Chain A
Amino acid sequence: QKEVEQNSGPLSVPEGAIASLNCTYSDRGSQSFFWYRQYSGKSPELIMFIYSNGDKEDGRFTAQLNKASQYVSLLIRDSQPSDSATYLCAVTLYSGAGSYQLTFGKGTKLSVIP
């Protein structure tokens, strides 16, 4: 059974600090990795994706992937109160017939304290 595990939090960080969100996955065949941000009552918004081992940076966000350890993380630099949300980790596997399946973790709730 494919599983994606995240610490549910809440993770509290002071404004301006680095927030570190972690995710592990069970299926070594996983191919692509995503981070979604979900504000309370809203739908998930894709903020980062990473396909290869290493780091990928986009503005204040850095995604890190280690396939050998089956581990993916998201770093948020200079955290702002507007970053307060639940962050969902998702992992994709090819499921045949031209479709890929995303498996989501339950999310980590981040709170940035002013």
Chain B
Amino acid sequence: SQTIHQWPATLVQPVGSPLSLECTVEGTSNPNLYWYRQAAGRGLQLLFYSVGIGQISSEVPQNLSASRPQDRQFILSSKKLLLSDSGFYLCAWSVQGTGYEQYFGPGTRLTVT
């Protein structure tokens, strides 16, 4: 069966500090991978998606970036965090070529102070 991991689970970072969140998927090959953010009182916002190694599409212009160095690894980064970056960051995967059903990881709760 497939499993998706995210870490860290929670993170408190000062404004202007860097960020690196990691997501890994087990039990499947060549998945589509997604990063979402859920801010308090707001819906899920798609940030990035990837259909393969090194292939990243950005949905929202911002100070975040994503990378996919390995087939089942997806990383979300920032050089300098803003207060508005606080939120619940969710990684999801779907079967390559379909994307019909997306399955979420446990998430990382980020608070920027």
- Chain B: residues with Cβ within 8 Å of the partner, total of 27
The stretch from B60-68, B73-81, B102-110 touching chain A is B102-110
- A98 touching B90, Cβ below 8 Å: no
Residues on the A chain within 8 Å of B34, using CB: 102
Whether, in the assembled complex, A45 has its beta carbon less than 8 Å from a beta carbon of chain B, the answer is yes
- B94 touching A100, Cβ below 8 Å: yes
- A99 touching B104, Cβ below 8 Å: no
- Measured as residues with beta carbon below 8 angstroms from the partner, the interface class of chain A is 20 to 34
Q: DSSP class of A's interface residues: helix, strand, loop or mixed?
A: strand
Whether, in the assembled complex, B113 has its beta carbon less than 8 Å from a beta carbon of chain A, the answer is no
- B42 touching A106, Cβ below 8 Å: yes
Q: Give Cα A70 to B52, complex, Å.
A: 32
Flag A37-64 by CB within 8 Å of B: 1 or 0 each.
0000111111001010000000000000
Flag B40-66 by CB within 8 Å of A: 1 or 0 each.
001110100101000101010000000
Q: Give Cα A49 to B94, complex, Å.
A: 14
- B107 touching A98, Cβ below 8 Å: no
- B46 touching A101, Cβ below 8 Å: yes
